[in-house]
A = this chain, B = another copy of it.
């Protein structure tokens, strides 16, 4: 464990347990995503002939698994990156982090729901809002921890703090904006989803030019 004059060893250990617990929850959720994909039920005598078709029928489940793996993967990277700046903790940070983990724990359920009903608007809306809530929780964690250098390194650059803040809020905003498209088509929603990383990059570029 790195020695750091800003916090006592006890605090470092406490922070490590928070990070560890979060890693464990994210690892379980990301691995459980695939568990709910149903193996087709086919009579052995016709299995060789019917299995390819049955597997094609669960393509939406496989795609949702893949997309959700990327979503949790991206937020694990965010958590990994931004918690490396956080050096102290308090009860509110723990509560915000539990809120983040709540939406992580929701992912296998909302992913299964979308995989089973990929073209039903309410399934698309629930999935999109769950991802938006996940992103918003991460943004709130950062906002709370970084405001006035509350829990981050005191020498952390104010510009860096603001860019991270902006980046973390753009992604959930894009997801909220994708909600009305759920009533048009699944394809439209997916287009807006994929635009969100582009929006993050664009917003970062514009911000940097200012």
Contact = CB atoms under 8 A, between A and B. Distances in A.
A13 B1 contact: yes
A98 B120 contact: no
Interface residues of A, number: 64
A84 B14 CA distance: 7
A28 to B, nearest CB: 4
A26 B23 CA distance: 12
A33 interface: yes
* A interface majority secondary structure: helix
A2 B91 CA distance: 21
A197 interface: no
A102 interface: yes
A28 B17 contact: no
Interface stretch (A107-115, A133-141, A142-150, A157-165): A107-115
Interface of A: 1-4, 8-10, 12-14, 17-21, 23-37, 39, 42, 44, 47-48, 51-52, 55, 69, 73, 76-77, 80, 84, 91, 94, 98, 101-102, 104-106, 108-109, 112-113, 116-117, 119-123, 126
